Structure 1
């Protein structure tokens, strides 16, 4: 009985820590902190922002791409996540969550909106849970800077 309680508490702590990483990604992105965004990923992480964007391989590529986007494309952003679903598997986990993201563009284009999902793979590291993979899938968008996105897989 005590072991079961300890396992349930550990799972709750892991879920909270993973949700904190997801929220930190949004927080640091919106605050224009590319170094802090990149530090949430494993050194060999993969980010797939959609079919019209090159996959980003590794923390340094993620850092560079986020820094460039924040410096050259986005004047401001606001990311909101909800409905976070996490599946734990020992030292690994997967998650999916809903995303609403607003983007103000430096070039003066109309503000872009995105209704989407983040799909993650996580790994527990000595520094805590880190994102090993992030895939962005869109349900809809208005004035977004990409014409094509991965679909959410709606039946």
Structure 2
């Protein structure tokens, strides 16, 4: 394994950790920093928004604040295809959360599918598609 590849893997893992922290802390400026300005994001499998980065931030700002807490775990990060300046990444997620009006902990899990590009200041996602596979104790 060469140093560049190892460095890319560490940076990409760090980007996904930043994504999780941004969503869980509701830090939407930090969330924006994970994506390119023209990124397309698709949360439709969870019944949520599809759109550009700023459109998704607007939706999160209006809708995600009612969730008292969430805690994303992102694991099994696979770089499926990588060139000098782009990478296709699939990662599993597990997300326990407290939903308003629901007793106990709710949770969901699935996959994140990212198309990443190397920007001057590091890797950024130009496309994210969430593939929500399961949900327990969801809202009525």
How big is the alpha-carbon RMSD for the aligned residues of Structure 1 and Structure 2? 1.8
SS of the residue corresponding to residue 90 of structure 1 reads coil
Q: Which runs of 4+ in 1 moved over 4 A?
A: none
Count of matched residue positions in the alignment of Structure 1 and Structure 2: 137
Larger Rg: 1
Asked if the contact 1:47/1:133 (under 8 Å) is kept, the reply is: yes
Corresponding position of 2:84:
90
Write out per-residue CA displacement over residues 89-145 of structure 1, whole angstroms, 9 at most, x where no aligned residue: 22010111111001212x322432102111111011112111111111122111335
Asked if the contact 1:38/1:62 (under 8 Å) is kept, the reply is: no
Residue 112 in structure 1 maps to residue 106 in structure 2: yes
TM-score, length-normalised on structure 2? 0.88
Asked if the contact 2:78/2:90 (under 8 Å) is kept, the reply is: yes
SS of the residue corresponding to residue 39 of structure 1 reads helix
Separation in 1 of the partners of 2:138 and 2:128?
A: 19
Write out per-residue CA displacement over residues 13-46 of structure 1, whole angstroms, 9 at most, x where no aligned residue: 1111111000110012112211111111000101
Separation in 1 of the partners of 2:96 and 2:70?
A: 6
